[in-house]
Amino acid sequence: MMFERIAPEQHDTLDGIPEPAENPVLVGHHEARDALASAYHAGKLPHALLFVGPQGIGKATFAFHFAYHLLSHVDHRLAPKRLVSPDVSSSLFRQIANGAHPSILHLTRPLNDKTKSYKSAVTVDEIRKVSRFLSLTSHDGGYRVVIVDPADDMNTNAANALLKNLEEPPARTLFVLIAHSLGRLLPTIRSRCQIVRFNPLADNEVLAVLGGFDTGLPASETERTELLANASGSPRTAILLTQYGGLEIAGALDQLLREPRVPVAQAHKLAEAVAARDQAIAFSLFNDHALEVVATAATAAARDGEIERAERFSQAWQDLRIAMSEADTYNLDRKQHALNMIFRLHDTLRM
């Protein structure tokens, strides 16, 4: 499906795929839809919601749909008990989609003006926009909505700044924090939010999402089954796997890790492929799969009762995550980072 992009591009924008703010279709998550729409109708909406679940399953799309619901029904008593779908022809939808609605503040990883690439964190300067936003009077007496996506990308200063806003928000203010990893948020932030958990989509729901985009779904049933197994209920992951070489990257890394000793030539070939200047998404896919390999090993060890080994894998996961963050923050050589990851992973799996 071809579409006219009207939303500002973000750090994780994919070609041909709508941003959450401009996506009129929300698939799945019916329990959360009904619960939050009913809470708003009853006048019992909390001031802060924390949407938690895997990346790419529709949490941000849900957040913008819910914001549309609030702003199109200013009097909560007259709001339907079920979430309304946006009217794409309405001025409200287009204002929200292009980031121009005065009652919505969307905070995410900002663009670095010097490097023209996106920063690796949601910065304190972004969060400082909240106080200015909330100091303004709502233009229609309705809700003001602050969406932080992803909240677990906030650095420490940003998280502490947001905490102050969460402690005493003005009336008719809603914070929606979107997190892929609950453990990366400050406990004090978690305690001030009502947590809403989002589950991975079912296979038929993933296919329903992909069917609405021009994603080049595999033609054969076998290939679709393999894709769904690797996507783990995330349409975004499925798109990355099919359109950005994710399956090939994961397969190449897995093959290297199965070898008794890392084949140096093949390791360099993979590192070069994912580290090229125009391969930011491939580089991210490589890192994500590396973390997934260690997380899977930790889960398997814990399931087998090997608690000490599982803890070593968990610590290795943290160490790898720090290495990835440092490579991003300090703009380290990507090829060398990828090579280091391959050899560290190989050693880690033989602990």
Please tell me the predicted confidence (pLDDT) of residue 1: 47
C-alpha span between 154 and 158 (Å, rounded):
6
Contacts of 183 by beta carbon, 8 Å cutoff, 6+ apart: none
* Phi and psi at residue 265, to the nearest 5°: -60, -45
Strand, helix or coil for residue 288: helix
C-alpha span between 292 and 12 (Å, rounded):
19
Please tell me the predicted confidence (pLDDT) of residue 326: 85
Please tell me the predicted confidence (pLDDT) of residue 279: 84
Q: What is the pLDDT along the chain (351 residues), one digit of tens a residue?
A: 456 899 999 989 988 899 999 999 999 999 999 999 999 999 999 999 999 999 999 999 999 999 999 999 999 999 999 999 999 999 999 999 999 999 999 999 998 887 777 887 899 999 999 999 999 877 678 899 999 999 998 989 999 999 999 998 999 999 999 999 888 899 999 999 999 999 999 999 999 999 888 777 787 888 889 889 888 899 999 999 888 888 899 999 999 999 999 999 999 999 999 998 878 889 988 998 999 899 999 999 999 999 999 999 999 998 998 898 888 778 889 999 999 999 999 999 987
What is the reported pTM?
Answer: 0.86
Task: Compute the 3-state secondary structure of the chain and give helix, strand, coil in percent, each to the nearest 5.
Answer: 55, 10, 40
Place of tokens 């949490």: 59
Helices (H) and strands (E) in the chain, counts: 15, 5
Q: Which two tokens stand for residue 171?
A: 């009336």
Please tell me the predicted confidence (pLDDT) of residue 2: 55
C-alpha span between 108 and 272 (Å, rounded):
30
Strand, helix or coil for residue 176: strand
